[in-house]
Structure 1
Amino acid sequence: MLTLNTDQLHTFVRACELDSFSAVARELGRAQSSISANIQNLELDLGLELFDRSGKYPRPTAAAQALLPLARQALGQLQRFQQAADSYQRGEEPLLRILFEELVMPDRLNDVLATFSHRFPHTQLQLSSASSEQAVACVSRGEADFAFVTTRDNYPSALDFNTLGRQQILCLAPPDHPLAQQQPASLSEAARHRQIIVAGVNSQHRWQLSAQTWICDSLLQALDLACKGIGWVNAPYELARPFLKSGKLVELKLTSALSTWSLDVDLLWSAKSAQGQAGLWFAREARRLYGNYYSPPIAFSDRT
């Protein structure tokens, strides 16, 4: 079986690029005879002539030119392999699994995740939406690392949690909806129009006002149904933003003590498993997501 090493590939690539074994030797701080022997051993291993030595300087053969991009790719993969191994050795997790209830998805979560991707390039993220019950069960069983959920009175002993703050929920309808035409509208007026409620079939119907409802377990589908004039709906700003920006939906100003719709939000994680550097960073940033304004991540030391 053919076995190649990084030194052989690197020497081959630089010899092709510099057209000179002596130049490679000077660059690497080695004797020219060492470079020549390295190339010759590679040619023997491959059974190919990689350089034409008939002239003053060695010239890559057609086979060498064809192999050059593959050698560069192999070196890049080896470098990425080493970088990933180094990051895991430092205590960064290979994978984080994050769940969130759609109704409490923080407005700036994707901003945090974009920064995360640069800070921890070798940690893979799996992001999924789930009901509160599903999220609690998954984190309890070790099938997820974090979950954003609506605050509840108690959790299983296998979980730790941190209350992050409150998520504002908007009331939305298309611009030509009667409630949008007579703003501000009262809750009693809203109750006379069909309401699209986001919930599982057996879940609590949060904020139900109208006797005429459609139940939908997908918030994005509920928003799209609202755009089509089916009814009015509640949604967090993060998911409602593209619909508001496009003008397909407008925010309703419902006048009453219940006109401020909001939910307390908890971040859950396992009480049994220690978090690595990526998890600790994410948990710290998540605590800042539900303030009045989310600023870019603070440049904390990894030992903070």
Structure 2
Amino acid sequence: MRNLSLDQLQLFVSACELGSFSAVARQCGRAQSAVSAQIQNLELDVGVELFDRSGKFPKPTDVALALLPLARQSIGQMRRLQQAADSYQSGEESQLRILFEEQVMPDRLNDMLAAFAEQFPNTLIHASSIDGERAIERIGRGDADFAFVTAREGYPGEVDSNNLGQQQILTLAAPEHPLAQLPAASLVEAANYRQILIASGAHSAVGDPRRGQVAAQCWVTDSLLQGLELAGKGVGWVNAPFELARPFLKSGRLVELNLTSALSAWSLGVDLLWSNRTPQGNAARWFAREAHRLYGNYYSPPL
């Protein structure tokens, strides 16, 4: 079978739908003989008869009706291929690689990515969580396009940054936890109960392995999700951003504690990183601009 053309497939589908070659010719502004010739060429290419011409109007054969859905699918794929190629030619990237530290994952990042999908349907997104130091290294090497990290004093020369604002960290515990039974609890009272501290590799999400530690008894994990799961089982209390705690709050497995201390207002500065050696296209510029909208408020109200 020879390579089929988009034009042949479109004429074939139109002939099946309209019921005559003359109707197809009128629709596409061609001579009927030209349409008939293209259909005949298609029949020669696929090696089967597609239309029964014994009557007044050509009638699709059973084989044609079986091939019709595949032809429509092929037309859609070829059109999407052309649309994607046109987008890339106009400066849209084929992909963006996004990194983020879990502690500073924006509340509305997925909302922004949904808007991105509408704006740039042909650009793929690869998003992954990572500790801050590795994120900086990958941005510096050009292995990632953007990274959301806890704000630092400085970055390597090949890394550019922009401060996005603050991410508030909630203090959470299971509803049956003793601290959750109090209308308000002091930092001293919280220190009497086991704390689950989130660290990432050799460094915590805020740069100091023990920063944020209040309780004498402290479990440490490098997985924020595991820390939330442990807190949900009543093992201890934990600090986490709203976005990752959202399903736990919504299901009632965790509640926000009212601590009458500075810890209840603990927040982290957030920087957006990118490499100054990698040119940015339309999609990257849109992403960088919209990222500033993500930290307009500390966090969304718990559900």
The equivalences for 1:67-146 within 5 A come to 67-146=67-146
- Is residue 11 from structure 1 mapped to residue 16 from structure 2 by the alignment? no
2:256 corresponds, among 229, 251, 272, to 251
Cα distance, 1:201–1:280 mapped onto 2, change above 3 Å: closer
Counterpart CA distance in 1 for 2:122 and 2:162 is: 26
Aligned residue among 212, 218, 226 for 2:217: 212
Cα distance in 2 between the residues matched to 1:46 and 1:255: 77
| 1:222 aligned onto 2:227 | yes
Aligned 8 A contact 1:120 1:278 in 2: yes
Checking the alignment, whether the CA contact within 8 Å between 1:151 and 1:266 is kept in structure 2 is yes
2:101 maps to amino acid? E
Q: What is the Cα deviation at residue 30 of structure 1?
A: 0.4
The secondary structure found in structure 2 opposite 1:81 is helix
Tell me the CA shift for residue 201 of structure 1: 4.4
CA deviation after TM superposition for structure 1 residue 152, in Å: 0.6
Cα deviation, residue 66, structure 1: 1.1
- CA–CA separation in structure 1 for the residues paired with 2:35 and 2:242: 62
Q: Output the CA distance in 2 between the equivalents of 1:132 and 1:201.
A: 10
C-alpha RMSD of the superposition? 1.4
Query: Which residue number corresponds to residue 298 of structure 1?
Result: none
Do the aligned partners of 1:158 and 1:270 also contact (CA within 8 Å) in 2? yes
Partner of 2:64: 64
Residue 273 of structure 1 is aligned with which of 275, 278, 285?
Answer: 278
Q: Following TM superposition, by how much is the alpha carbon of 1:46 offset from its aligned partner in structure 2, in angstroms?
A: 1.8
User: Equivalent residue of 1:235, what SS?
Assistant: strand
Secondary structure in 2 aligned to 1:184? coil
Partner of 1:2: 2
Do the aligned partners of 2:151 and 2:268 also contact (CA within 8 Å) in 1?
Answer: yes
1:231 counterpart letter in structure 2: G
Q: Which secondary structure state, in structure 2, belongs to the residue aligned with residue 287 of structure 1?
A: helix
Letter in 1 for 2:254: L
**2:27 pairs with 1:27:** yes
Distance 1:39 1:269 in 2: 53
Aligned pairs (5 A) from 1:160-239? 160-203=160-203, 204-239=209-244
User: Shift in Å at residue 293 of structure 1?
Assistant: 7.9
Which residue of structure 2 aligns with residue 291 of structure 1?
A: 296
Runs of 4+, deviation exceeding 6 Å: none
Judge conservation of contact 2:168–2:298 (CA < 8 Å) in 1: no
1:191 CA drift (Å): 1.2
Letter of the 1:170 partner, please give it: L
Q: Which residue of 1 aligns with 2:206?
A: none
Contact 2:97/2:125 (8 A) holds in 1: yes
TM-aligned CA deviation for residue 258 of structure 1: 3.5
In structure 1, runs of 5+ residues without a counterpart are: 295-304
The answer (yes or no) to whether the contact 2:98–2:126 under 8 Å persists in 1 is yes
Q: TM-score, normalised by structure 1?
A: 0.94
**Aligned equivalents of 1:180 and 1:54: distance in 2?**
82
| Residues 93 and 276 in structure 1, CA contact (< 8 A), matched pair in contact too | yes
Q: CA deviation at 1:182?
A: 2.0
Checking the alignment, whether the CA contact within 8 Å between 2:166 and 2:298 is kept in structure 1 is no
Say how many residue pairs are matched: 295
Q: For 2:293, what is the secondary structure of its paired residue?
A: coil
**CA-to-partner distance for each residue in 1:168-216, whole Å, 9 max, x for gaps?**
0000001111111123111111111111011134222330111211111
Distance in 2 (alpha carbons) for counterparts of 1:200 and 1:169: 16
Gaps of 5+ in 2: 204-208
2: CA distance between counterparts of 1:292 and 1:258? 18
Residue identity opposite 1:5 in structure 2: S
Query: Which segment drifts farther, 45-54 or 197-206?
Result: 197-206
TM, length-normalised to structure 2: 0.94
Percentage of identical aligned residues: 67
In the alignment, is the contact (CA less than 8 A) between 1:201 and 1:215 conserved in 2? no
Residues 131 and 201, structure 2, Cα contact 8 Å, conserved in 1: no
Moved more, 70-79 or 180-189: 180-189
Amino acid at match of 1:265: V
Amino acid at match of 1:159: V
